[in-house]
Amino acid sequence: MLMPYLLPCWVLGVAVSFALPFVPHWAVWAVVLFGLAGLALRFRWLIWVLAAVAGMAYGVWRTESALAEQWPLVQREAALTVEVVDLPYADSRKTQFLARAWCDDGRVFQLLLSDYGKRDWPVGSRWRVGAKLRPAVGAVNIRGLNRETWALANGIGGVGTLAKGRQRLAAGSASVWALWRERIRRSWQRSVSPEYGFSDGMALMRMLSIGEQSALRPAVWQAFRPLGMTHLVSISGLHVTMVALMCGGLMKMLLRCSPYLPQRPKRWVLVGGLLGAAAYAALSGFSVPTQRSVLMLAVLAWAWLRGRGATAWSGWWAALAAVLLFDPSAVLGVGTWLSFGLIASLIWVSAGRLGRASGAEKNIYAGFQTALHGQWAATVGSLVLLGSIFASLPLISPLVNALAIPWFSWVLTPLALLGSLLPLAPLQILAAALAEYTLRALMWLADFAPEWAVAVPPVPLLALAAVAAAAALLPRGSGMRLWAWLVLAGFVFYRPPPLEEGRLKMAVLDAGQGLSVLLQTKDHDLLFDTGTAAAAATGIVPSLNALGIRRLDKLILSHHDSDHDGGFPAVRRNRTIADLAAGQPEFYAAAQLCGETSWWWNGVYFEFLRPAGKVSNDDNDQSCVLRAVAGNQAVMITGDLGQKGEAALVAKYGEALYSSVLVLGHHGSSSASSGVFLNAVSPRYAVASSGYANSYRHPTQEVQNRVRAHGIKLLRTDYQGALQFELGGSGEIFQGSMRPYRFYWQKKPFAAVP
């Protein structure tokens, strides 16, 4: 009875290893493992604990090995020999590609390199280049994309920017598959010229066939989120499984037509399906998700081939264990848990029902009913996962997916593969046209698709919601459905406790090299700036979701600059905005000038400050200046206001500028935060909202010296991530990072700030 539980315990250990705050010495691991092994001889149940600890040790060992292959925690220029290993991606600003890089000291790294010269980088080509390199560290908010997690899960050791010069070397060792992908890509570009107007459709065909995810425009990607369709447009377990079923069905048809039937035809069908899945994965670049999908299918096929003695759950655990044995960092991949969660939901909801259908029930209606039941199970099963990971639920996703999955799986993806294997211009144009009109319809629908913001729940509620999702799928008569739906409703509608009257909560969100600050009172929410478009999509909007904010009582856009208002369309699309104020209102519909006005919210005083007269024609000097006062404490945000504007404020308001917290102007640029201004404001804390290793070197050393000379504590989003403060009480103002915990494999939030 003990053996069936060893795999689940080992899998749990691997997963838990990524939650460790630190790693014990290897001698501690050895003592614990040998000690448990000895005790397990007497107490048999300890073999479960031994399996879990062994899983933890294995996960740590593999992760430490992967961390050793990452670029060290320094930013510096280096001479490299690089080989392009995947299809490059080009947008209006740069060309980006994955490369294997050799340093002069013999170290080898997998790097994501950007070329702002937008030169051609063919797959398999090898070059001698110079590059400015740094670790893959990005924004850290309460929810949203974490670049460190993404890089570790995808085997990327660092990122870099290429210098202007380069030297072509002898051809590299690119695989036949990589070169074939390059030829397929160019065949689509030749056949579907821009004059047809099917550029997005052609990009989708390349994406579904050769896995070129960067082919689609960011605007198209953003449209898939409110529809819950991202998994359909990136090659994942769904597409690999579909190709496996097609190839397995083709093998079955060939066997029926063959005059000689092998002894075990099921084995031939399984082998045919697996070979088709492996070929498709290789054609699409054999990315990490497709590798896991093929491995999962192989283990499930093996379990099915065993037949007697193998259950669906044993096959599921074996497949998950095989994936984590091959790559423990799969724990960090959202796709891993969505894929295995979907399969688990289907197994759970069908337990005890398989094999019951009579011959009369095996008809089209029964098939439709089964598909509908499966879609319902997938929706309920993924509810907690989507809500906790993305802090958002696409409300019409079940309906859209019910129609889109068969269309993408059985029409668009086969056409993409056929057009790639038989590069005939009429076929490729037809496929691109169908894909183009599909995308246009989806993008139109996305404009009306509602999303539900899911706040970050307490851990007990999250655990109860996971149990409730399983209970909700139990058969009728179990007596747990009412309880399950009540718990799930509590998870979906949960909101954090409100602030007390007279209190002000401020979060300086990590917007990279941008600015976005959230101010909250008991009943009101105000957002000052939205960061860049990318920062809003990957960090700002998810953080608003996670905080349970569906409506903004006021949105302030300090001035018309992409690092301050670039995320405005994304925020407007996802939030109701009651009032819009801007330093340059002519650039936004229905916006009012942030003139010298004031208002009260729940005992907290807000005011716009404005220099007398026009300081300059510079956009930065048009920035809104906001000050909020709670009790005897205040915060001030000045956007990108320069030293001339600061001097004008000091001349007009003098000591009335006093604020406990100052968000440094222009991200910590030397053009702002003058000594005179710091004297007038006299803050306890100064916050620099800047991107990690940014090219401007913000906050500059000059500003850091000024701040320290005035006895002000400097806080930085580039090292600490999103920061939170609470004013109006008697306790400490600074509440720390919004995500203060740091796992052992993470660098940010950094333990020390320079």
Higher pLDDT residue, 663 or 739? 663
3-class DSSP state of 425: helix
* Cα 612 to chain centroid, rounded: 44
Euclidean distance between CA atoms 213 and 215, whole angstroms: 5
Q: Per-residue pLDDT for 687 more than 60?
A: yes
Q: Both 715 and 656 in a single domain?
A: yes
Same domain for 160 and 40?
no
Runs of H (alpha helix) within 494-616 = 533-535, 541-546, 562-565, 568-574
**Domain-located, residue 575:** yes
Least confident stretch, 228-237, 309-318, 694-703: 228-237
Residue 103, beta-bridge partner list: 80
What percent of the chain lies above the pLDDT cut of 70?
95
Residues 64 and 607: their CA atoms lie apart, in Å, by 51
Distance CA 187, CA 418 (A): 13
Residue 1 has pLDDT above 60, yes or no: no
| 62 and 118 assigned to the same domain | no
H or E element at residue 579: none
Report the helix count and the strand count for the chain, using DSSP H and E: 27, 25
pLDDT in tens, 329-345: 999 988 888 888 888 88
Sign of CA dihedral 280, 330, 739, 231: positive
Residue 570 one-letter amino acid: A
**What token pair was written down for 273?**
């399906």
Task: Judge contact between 527 and 552, C-beta under 8 A.
Answer: yes
Predicted confidence band of residue 220 (pLDDT cuts 50, 70, 90): confident
- The percentage of residues in the chain with a pLDDT greater than 90, rounded to a whole number, is 62
Using alpha carbons only, how large is the chain's radius of gyration in Å?
28
Residues 6+ apart with CB under 8 A from 150: 136, 156
**DSSP H helical ranges for 216-264:** 218-224, 230-233, 237-257
Residues paired with residue 505 on neighbouring β-strands, in sequence order: 520, 726
Query: What range defines the domain where residue 160 resides?
Result: 76-173
Give residue 398's pLDDT band: very low, low, confident or very high (50, 70, 90): confident
555 secondary structure, DSSP code: E
The least confident of 58-67, 108-117, 338-347, 553-562 is 338-347
Q: How many angstroms from the chain centroid is the CA of residue 630?
A: 35
Residue 343: inside a domain, yes or no? no
Q: How far apart, in whole angstroms, are the C-alpha atoms of residue 529 and residue 618?
A: 18
The string of pLDDT tens digits covering residues 521-530 is 999 999 999 9
- Based on the structure, what is the number of domains in the chain? 3
Question: pLDDT at position 732, please?
Answer: 95
The sign of the torsion formed by the CA atoms of 640, 644, 646, 648 equals negative
- On whether both 53 and 83 belong to a single domain, the answer is no
Residue 731: its H or E element: none
For the ranges 169-178, 264-273, 351-360, 424-433, which has the lowest average pLDDT? 351-360
pLDDT of residue 197 exceeding 80, the answer is: yes
Mean pLDDT computed over 119-144: 94
Mean pLDDT of the chain: 89
pLDDT band at residue 352, thresholds of 50, 70 and 90?
Answer: very low
Q: Are residues 27 and 93 in the same domain?
A: no
Q: What is the pLDDT of residues 556-581, one digit of tens each?
A: 999 999 999 999 999 998 899 999 99
Residues 20 and 115 in one domain: no
Do residues 625 and 669 both lie within one domain?
A: yes
Q: Which of 51, 68, 85 is the last residue of a domain?
A: 68
571 shares its domain with 631:
yes
Average pLDDT over residues 216-227: 84
Q: Is the pLDDT of residue 361 over 80?
A: no
pLDDT digits (tens, 9 = 90+) for 80-108: 999 998 888 887 789 999 999 999 988 99
Shared domain for 97 and 130, answered yes or no, is: yes
From 123, 157, 173, give the residue that closes a domain.
Answer: 173
- Model pLDDT, residue 109: 96
> What pLDDT, on the 0 to 100 scale, is given for residue 371?
64
User: Is residue 552 included in any domain, yes or no?
Assistant: yes
| DSSP state letter for 160 | E
Q: What is the pLDDT of residue 476?
A: 67
- How many CA atoms, within 13 angstroms, populate the side-chain half-sphere of residue 679? 7
Report the range of poorest mean pLDDT among 145-149, 169-173, 494-498, 635-639.
169-173
- 689: domain CATH number is 3.60.15.10
CA distances from 168 to 104, 126, 285, 746 (A): 17, 6, 24, 36
What is the reported pTM? 0.90
- 5: pLDDT confidence band, cut at 50, 70 and 90? confident
Strand arrangement of the beta sheet that strand 723-727 belongs to: 592-593, 580-582, 554-557, 525-528, 517-520, 504-508, 723-727, 734-737
Question: Three-state SS across 506-521?
Answer: EEECCCCCCCCEEEEC
Host H or E run for residue 77: strand 76-84
d(CA 610, CA 699): 25
Single-letter residue type at 544: L
Domain assignment of residue 320, yes or no: no
Tokens 């860049």 — which residue?
532
Q: What is the average pLDDT across 240-262? A: 84
Burial of 603 (0-12, 13-18, 19+ CB in 10 A): middle
C-alpha–C-alpha distance, residues 17 and 24, integer Å: 11
Say yes or no: 164 and 15 in one domain: no
What's the pLDDT at 376? Answer: 81
* DSSP symbol at 538: I
Q: Are residues 14 and 156 in the same domain?
A: no
Q: Is residue 387 part of a domain?
A: no
Which residue, of 23, 50, 68, is where some domain finishes? 68
Residue 172 has pLDDT above 70, yes or no: no
Q: Are residues 64 and 17 in the same domain?
A: yes
Residue 104 lies in a domain: yes
Q: What is the pLDDT of residue 64?
A: 96
pLDDT at 365: 58
Residue 608 located in a structural domain: yes
Q: What is the pLDDT of residue 357?
A: 45
For residue 356, pLDDT beyond 60: no
Residue 94 sits in a domain of what CATH number? Answer: 2.40.50
Q: What is the mean pLDDT of residues 725-746?
A: 93
The pLDDT confidence band at residue 358, using thresholds 50, 70 and 90, is: very low
Instruction: Answer positive or negative: Cα dihedral of 67, 70, 76, 78.
Output: positive
pLDDT band, very low/low/confident/very high, at 355 (cuts 50, 70, 90): very low
Measure the CA–CA gap between 201 and 235, rounded to whole angstroms. Answer: 16
Structural domain contains residue 599 = yes
